[in-house]
Structure 1
Amino acid sequence: MQNVKGTYDFFGNEQAIRRKVENTLRTLFELYDFDEMSSTILNELDLLTSKYAGGDEIVKEMYRLTDQGERRLGLRYDLTIPFAKVIALNPGIELPYKRYEIGKVFRDGPVKKGRLREFLQCDADVVGVAGPEAEAELMQLAAEAFRRLELPVVIRWNNRRFLGELLAAIGVPEERRNAVILTLDKIAKIGREEVRRELSDQGLETEIVGGVLRLLDLGEADRGVEALAERYDLPGGGGAGEVRALGRLLEALGLNGICRFDPFLARGLSFYTGTVYEIFDASGEFASSLGGGGRYDSIIGQLVGREDLPYPTVGLSFGMESIMAMLAKREIDLPQPQALVIPIFGATAPALAAAGLLRAGGVRTSVELSGRKLKKSLAGAAARGIRYVILVGEDEAAAGQVRLKDMDRQTEEALTAEEALTRIGGRIEQTACE
């Protein structure tokens, strides 16, 4: 018996880390006024394989299935397309609309550190804002999230329209630009020579391939938007204008140190229409992306059959498994009970009743049900750092009391269960049984 390749079970310290990350992000999303959404895991195959969806590479990794009605379905491979479907199916949603979702997605792809086949995604999206304010807010949120997680990161960003304008100035035909953009996005992984080979295999003329390589060879000082716009005589508006506007916002927010412009960043998904960004470990020790996103203004309108319908949308996705991999060595203090209830001589029912009252009062409570001797139970409580132990026997139950032991002070006294609850620091509430 074994797990399916690329799937894992999480418990103990590892699950505690995962919950801490989720709670940190959930708290931030709500501070930024994002509404929570839960979209469907099962989706129509036609939706997931649509030309407006994730692209050929992701579709190859999709899990496909057929239900008993012979309907062709697929498991979601991201949270973006299901989100776009929700907006398309609910035209009454008031815009701008901000949503977040944390849920599992599935991809039948290669397995490596930080990349699984069943994994958690965490997305935030804004639909209905056409300007760079939405991108700036999401990048601001990302920077704050990693600050809270104590992970130094760099957010690389670019604009797909701007990169397209650069390629047009070099002479790359419009029908080839998307393929060239996806090749340039892999420069850090495959290197310059492999990029040259891929560009040649795409049927580009030698002169154009040379122009693209010369663009790649520019030094850091020549990769700024102003230097590139001047070198390639780009128009003042368009993608270059969008880069300038977002750059000014990031500088005003004090984010230009962590957010770095990268004119070759494109991200692998073909649906991005403008700004794109990707998050990396600032130390460079962890190579996998820690998150990313960008603007995809066309998907929702295309899904509803109205490509002219404006649904400007920007998204951010946290690479949860990569984040977990970076945090894996951290030790988290697992939550421990505030109180342990021990039944004496089989007084299980009154012990469970006392525990129920404590729990109703907000006290995390464990009941000793293993049948161990009292001495071992008390030693176990001390080892776990449980301060309060409540002993319940038939005599105590008959008197309407419990015996409360304070393990720190080494005291013991007979009290009612309500008095013990107050002593521990809980709150008195009317229980369902009462």
Structure 2
Amino acid sequence: MQNVKGTYDYFGREQAIRQKVRSTLTELFEVYDFEAMDTTLLNELELLTSKYAGGDEILREMYQLTDQRGRQLGLRYDLTIPFAKVIALNPGIELPYKRYEIGKVFRDGPVKKGRLREFLQCDADMVGFPGPQGEAELMMLAAEAFRRLEIPIVVKWNNRRFLGEILEAAGVPPEQHLSVMLSLDKLAKIGSSGVLAELYEKGLTPAAIGTLKELLDMETPSFEELADKYRLAGQPGALEVLALQQLIAEIGLAGTCVFDPYLSRGLSFYTGTVYEIFDASGVYSSSLGGGGRYDAIIGKLVGRDDIEYPTVGISFGMESIMALLGERPAREETSGVLVIPIGEYLPQALTAAAALRAAGIRTAVDTGKRKLKKTLASASAKGIRYVILIGENEAAADKLRLKDMVQQSEELVTVEEAARRIAG
């Protein structure tokens, strides 16, 4: 018996860390006024494979299945398309609208560290928000989330519309823009020589390749340099970059959010700003999350190509975050209180535990079958500070014996006093 490759069961310390990450993100989503949503795992194949969805690479990795009536279905490969479906199917939703969702998605792709076949995504999306407010809010959210997780990050960002304007100036035909963008996006992985090799294979003109080589040879070019070099001042994409860049500076995120003109991300539906989150320390090279603006999907799903729903989102990669956090040494953390019945006093132990739980204190009840010395040693190893003992003397006095494992002290108290001391 074994798990399917690329799928895992989580328990113990690892699950505790996952829950901490999840609760941190959930708390922030709600503080930022996002509403919880739960979309379907199963979707019509036609929706997931539509030309407005994820692109050829994602579709090759999609799990497809057929139900008993022969209907073609698929498991969701992200949370964005199902969200767009919800908005398209529910025209009564008042805009602007903000939602978050934490749920599993599935991709039949290569398995490596931080990349699985069944994995958790944590998304936040805003519909009805034209730029740059939506992008700025999501960047602020990302910066705060990783600050709370004690992970130093850099958010690399670009604008696909602006990158398209550069490609147009370079002589790249519009129908090849997306393909060329995806090659440029690989610069950090395969280097300029690898990108150029791909560009030659795409059949671009020598003049276009020469211009793109000049672009690749520029060392971290700024937006201003590129706008001046390609004479793009006043173009729609250039204006979007300028507006977001100014807002980022004004809200104090210029040190965290860095403009990267080669970034485009793999999904085909992005229409404007795109961004990706990386570990600033360089310990972990893969992306920790990303997102961008996708104004066209929802209108196309409702059959209205002439209507845009200004939408922007961000996704946090739980598996990548866990792969990074897993490199850290374990921390000793307290885990509530342990109630130990001595002899035949399990009813009293359960009653005391119920009172402590009602006070919001995490409480475990021991079986009372092991030797007391071993039970106390186990509690200490787990980081449990307080232990409650209930035996004949305690039951007769209608009290509990509260033992502080750190201070190595104990006292006879009522259950109410115990709750105040433990919570205090």
Q: Would you say same fold, with TM above 0.5?
A: yes
Shift of 1:22: 1.4
CA 1:206–1:34 in structure 2 vs 1: closer, same or farther (change >3 Å)? Answer: same
- Judge conservation of contact 1:388–1:424 (CA < 8 Å) in 2: no
CA distance in 2 between partners of 1:335 and 1:254 (Å): 36
- Residue 394 of structure 2 is aligned to residue 404 of structure 1: no
Aligned to 2:176: 176
1:372-409: CA deviation from partner (whole Å, max 9, x where unpaired): 1334334444554432313145x865x58244243446
1:218 and 2:212 correspond: no
Match of 1:140 in 2: 140
Which amino acid is the alignment partner of residue 372 of structure 1?
A: R
Unaligned segments of structure 1, at least 5 residues: 427-434
* 2:8 aligned counterpart, secondary structure: coil
Whether 2:95 is the aligned partner of 1:98: answer no
Return 162-171 or 66-75, whichever deviates more. 66-75
Contact 1:277–1:293 (Cα < 8 Å) also in 2: yes
| Match in the other structure for 1:298 | 296
For residues 261-280 of structure 1, the aligned pairs below 5 Å read 261-280=259-278
Matches within 5 A, 1:1-12: 1-12=1-12
State the Cα distance separating 1:193 from its structure 2 match: 2.3
**Partners of 2:160 and 2:417 in 1: how far apart?**
66
* Aligned partner of residue 103 in structure 2, secondary structure: strand
- 1:129 partnered with 2:129: yes
Flag the 1:358–1:306 CA change in 2: closer, same or farther, 3 A: same
Q: Say if 1:82 and 1:400 are closer, same or farther in 2 by CA, change over 3 A.
A: farther
C-alpha deviations, 1:3-27, integer Å up to 9, x for none?
A: 2111122222222222221122222
**Aligned-pair distance for 1:417?**
4.5
- Please say if residues 109 and 117 of structure 2, whose CA atoms lie closer than 8 Å, have aligned partners that are also in contact: yes
After alignment, is 194-203 or 235-244 more displaced?
A: 194-203
Answering whether residue 355 of structure 2 is matched by residue 365 of structure 1, we say: no
Map 1:209-248; keep pairs closer than 5 Å.
209-220=209-220, 223-248=221-246
Match of 1:67? 67
Equivalence for 1:352? 350
Unaligned runs of 5+ in 2: none
Structure 1 residue 247 displacement after superposition: 0.8
Task: Give the 3-state SS of the residue equivalent to 2:385 in structure 1.
Answer: coil
Contact 1:45/1:64 (8 A) holds in 2: yes
> Which amino acid counterpart does residue 273 of structure 2 have in structure 1?
T
Using the TM superposition, name which of 126-135 and 352-361 deviates more: 352-361
Counterpart amino acid of 2:360?
G
Which residue of the partner structure matches residue 389 of structure 1? Answer: 388
In structure 1, C-alpha distance between the alignment counterparts of 2:150 and 2:267, rounded to whole Å: 29
**Most deviating of 329-338 and 83-92:** 329-338
Alignment partners' CA distance in 2, 1:93 and 1:364 = 39
Partner deviation per Cα, 1:37-59 (whole Å, 9 max, x = no partner): 11111111111111111111001
Query: In 2, distance between residues paired with 1:65 and 1:194?
Result: 37
| Counterpart Cα distance in 2 of 1:96 and 1:348 | 55
Output the CA distance in 1 between the equivalents of 2:421 and 2:144. 39
Q: For residue 156 of structure 2, give the secondary structure of its aligned residue in structure 1.
A: strand
- Conservation of the 8 A alpha-carbon contact between 2:277 and 2:288: yes
Q: Which moved more, 1:129-138 or 1:61-70?
A: 61-70
Once structures 1 and 2 are overlaid, which stretch shifts more, 26-35 or 369-378? 369-378
Q: What do the CA deviations read for 1:82-134 (whole angstroms, capped 9, x no partner)?
A: 11111111111111111111111111111111111111111111100112111
Instruction: Give distance in 1, aligned partners of 2:154 and 2:111.
Output: 25
In structure 2, the residue matched to 1:429 is none
Report if the CA contact (8 A) 1:351-1:392 is conserved: no
Could you say which residue in structure 2 is the equivalent of 1:431?
A: none
Cα distance in 2, alignment partners of residues 404 and 351 from structure 1: 11
Over aligned residues, Cα RMSD in angstroms? 2.1
Distance of 1:425 and 1:27 partners within structure 2: 22
Alignment counterpart, residue 311 of structure 2, candidates 305, 310, 313: 313
The match for 1:430 is none
**Structure 2 Cα separation of the partners of residues 121 and 146 of structure 1:** 16
**Paired residues of 2:343 and 2:368 also in contact (CA < 8 A):** no
Say whether residues 1:81 and 2:81 are aligned partners. Answer: yes
Count of equivalent residues: 420
Asked if the contact 2:386–2:422 (Cα under 8 Å) also holds between the matched residues in 1, the reply is no
Structure 1 letter corresponding to 2:13: N
Cα gap change, 1:250/1:375 in structure 2, threshold over 3 Å: closer, same or farther? closer
Q: TM-score, normalised by structure 1?
A: 0.90
Match of 2:15 in 1: 15
**Sequence identity percentage:** 64
Q: State the distance in 2 between where 1:248 and 1:49 align.
A: 37
In the superposition, relative to structure 1, how do residues 369 and 273 fare at CA in structure 2: closer, same or farther (>3 Å)?
same
SS at match of 1:162: helix
More displaced 10-residue stretch of structure 1: 365-374 or 70-79: 365-374
d(CA) in 1 for partners of 2:10, 2:231:
54
Distance 2:105 2:287 in 1: 17
